[in-house]
Structure 1
């Protein structure tokens, strides 16, 4: 189930590739949608779970580490491109989103493992919710990579690699549950910091630049999607 949840990232990428390279308006909506999903996951899922599991003393350093990691990765990707073109900017955005989603998927896999460790039906519900989360995230990864000129096969291959992080996290979670859950709060907070950086530095500025009304509509839609998942799944 963790593998299927992870592979839904590829489903999102396939949807983008089948529809073709998005235009300015649809790309603004896709980026806004991804920003809404990521922001809502950070505020409603990752940070509360980290605080509940480890308190502020564990959540704050993890969040800062996620921010610094993504900022450093951003600087590294810009190092050889002092004045990056539009294609490179979209490629960089896609790689950053992929890295952030991979960091996000690791604690998601851990969460699935923890859910199946409970006597209730929490595990399958978590797997379904994560699968639905990953579809727009796959779209958000594929759209800038495709706009940057990456071949469809390479877009799918990168999304496939990202999708494997969820089952790996589940496997790791099963091992950690046998030892100690002490690492979970930091991983959750680190994923929150990474995704927060992506939203603030990449997704929202670019989406708003392309088409502000559709960017806001996408942001609202992504946020409501996560709220709906949290309420009914």
Structure 2
């Protein structure tokens, strides 16, 4: 039953990724919405679950919050290291042509991926983390059905609803960092299949609640960094329009609606 229900998450994830692909002419709105969805997932879904599951404190601070901060810092460190490595590699192998006197500020002769400081590996790493999160969503569905049919249905509805946002974000993050479309689609399909695999795995394993809570806290820190430091600034860089801000608010409000309906 859990695997069958997880197929709904598979379809919703693909629908989210398909939507992200079809609105490329409104990229700033896509990024604004993705940032709001990620903010809502972190603040309204992941962190409350993490604090509930990993409730013990370490030197006066909940373990989930410590891992949340660690996830944020690790994401920042990984991005800086990869960007520095790629910049160094490009400086050795790329012949830079001096821009003409009337060139615009961005026409520096540098490759785009070096100019904006983004490394494609960061996008793939972030998308892989999304796949891991989706796998844990499937595990949550399977574990809930082990408790009872009512609990399983409630958890499944929440997962299926927010997997649209997961698919949307997975494709957007992978593409934002300069990865080819085929890689973004491959990560999207991996993210879609992950809940099904997670639900199937519950027939063979049980994850300790404290470990699950720690993972959610760490993953929340990673997502918040990507939303606040990368996706939202990019969304407002060329199109600082009210519509972009409204998309961000709408994304966060959508997750609030999903969480509220799941708790009702």
TM (norm. structure 1) is 0.81
Select the residue among 234, 244, 248 that pairs with 1:215.
244
Deviation (angstroms), 1:89:
4.1
RMSD: 3.0
Is 1:101–2:130 an aligned residue pair? yes
Is 1:77–2:105 an aligned residue pair? no
Query: Mean Cα displacement is larger for which, 34-43 or 117-126?
Result: 117-126
Per the alignment, residue 36 of structure 2 pairs with 36
Larger Rg: 2
Per the alignment, residue 50 of structure 1 pairs with 50
- Please give the per-residue CA displacement for 1:12-66, whole angstroms capped at 9, x wherever unaligned: 222333x36x12xx21111111111111111111111111122263202321332
Per the alignment, residue 27 of structure 2 pairs with 27
2-structure distance, mates of 1:3, 1:12 = 14
Per the alignment, residue 16 of structure 2 pairs with 12
The answer to whether the 8 Å contact 2:78/2:122 transfers is no
Deviation (angstroms), 1:71:
2.2
Deviation (angstroms), 1:199:
1.0
Query: Mean Cα displacement is larger for which, 87-96 or 214-223?
Result: 87-96
Structure 1 residues 135 and 155: alpha-carbon distance in aligned structure 2, compared to 1, 3 A threshold: same
Unaligned runs of 5+ in 2: 58-62, 89-109
Deviation (angstroms), 1:92:
6.0
1-structure distance, mates of 2:126, 2:246 = 20
Report SS of the residue matched to 1:186: helix
Indicate the structure with greater helix content.
Answer: 1
Report SS of the residue matched to 1:55: coil
Deviation (angstroms), 1:186:
0.6
1-structure distance, mates of 2:261, 2:227 = 25
Deviation (angstroms), 1:103:
4.0
Deviation (angstroms), 1:216:
1.0
The answer to whether the 8 Å contact 1:30/1:140 transfers is no
Unaligned runs of 5+ in 1: none
TM (norm. structure 2) is 0.72
- Please give the per-residue CA displacement for 1:62-106, whole angstroms capped at 9, x wherever unaligned: 213322332233134312136661698495674354134224324
Count of paired positions: 228
